[in-house]
Amino acid sequence: MRRLLALSAVLLLALAAFGCGADKEKTQGKSKGSTQASQKGGAATTSKPSEPPRCRRVAAPKPKPAQHLPKPTLRLDSGKAYKAVMVTSCGVFTITLDVKRAPKTTASFVSLARRGFYDDTVFHRIVPGFVIQGGDPQGTGRGGPGYSVVEAPPSDLKYTKGVVAMAKTEIEDPGTSGSQFYVVTADDAQLPADYALLGKVTGGQDVVDVISVAPTDQSNPDPAKQERPLTPVVLRRVTISESKK
């Protein structure tokens, strides 16, 4: 009788252990399945690290004919924020326009951008550690829209990295602008407050940095051409967005 009781106890313990093991396996299986589902779901929502910007080799756009546009009458709403999204062959960067301090200059730029003036133009001038310059429909540094706007820049304006201003010739009055703009790539370009303010780069500074070191034609005997990139850096299009502040 004692032997039978002992044997029965052993069998009961074995069955209990087997049952617990089966439940554990089921639990582990469910847990493993849940983890895999979670990981799978996470993979679907987790973005891959973005690749650093680089300039793509593209063909140079054809120079546009001389422009003779009327001076725009557009007025921007000072209660809105305006941004210019610059899509280039090296990536995208964004300029927040300073409508408050430069209402005429920004309105002219927006008017030109909305009519596609800047689309398929090039950055014709690149000076490492100083500026990158574009906005000339002819790509020579001598073109413009056929009109000029004069707006004195803020007297305390500093042309520091990321500031975007309008180019002009030495003989033109301070604050004169047509269509050509430049982005400062130096920590401080140490320029006098003679160049009309447009805004500041607020997105894609890494793209500007890549453009700023594009190889230029330093061996060209013509000094005017030594700052032109060897491979065209193309401004594909400029899109203007506006929103409430």
Residue 49 has what pLDDT?
63
Q: Are 242 and 93 in contact (CB under 8 A)?
A: no
Torsion of CA 226, 228, 230, 234, to 10 degrees: 180
Torsion of CA 108, 92, 77, 117, to 10 degrees: 30
> Are β-strands 80-88 and 181-184 bridged in parallel, bridged antiparallel, or unpaired?
unpaired
> Which is nearest to 166 in space by CA: 244, 229, 115, 112?
112
Residue ranges of the chain with pLDDT lower than 50?
A: 1-47
Three-state secondary-structure class, residue 170: coil
Residue 51 has what pLDDT?
83
Residue bearing tokens 């009327």: 70
Query: Distance between CA 97 and CA 95 in Å, rounded?
Result: 6
- Report the topology of domain 80-244: Cyclophilin (2.40.100)
Question: Where are the domains positioned within the chain?
Answer: 1-46, 80-244
Residue 60 has what pLDDT?
96
How does pLDDT run across 114-171, given as a tens digit for each residue? 999 999 999 999 999 999 999 999 999 999 999 999 999 999 999 999 999 999 999 9
pTM of the model: 0.79
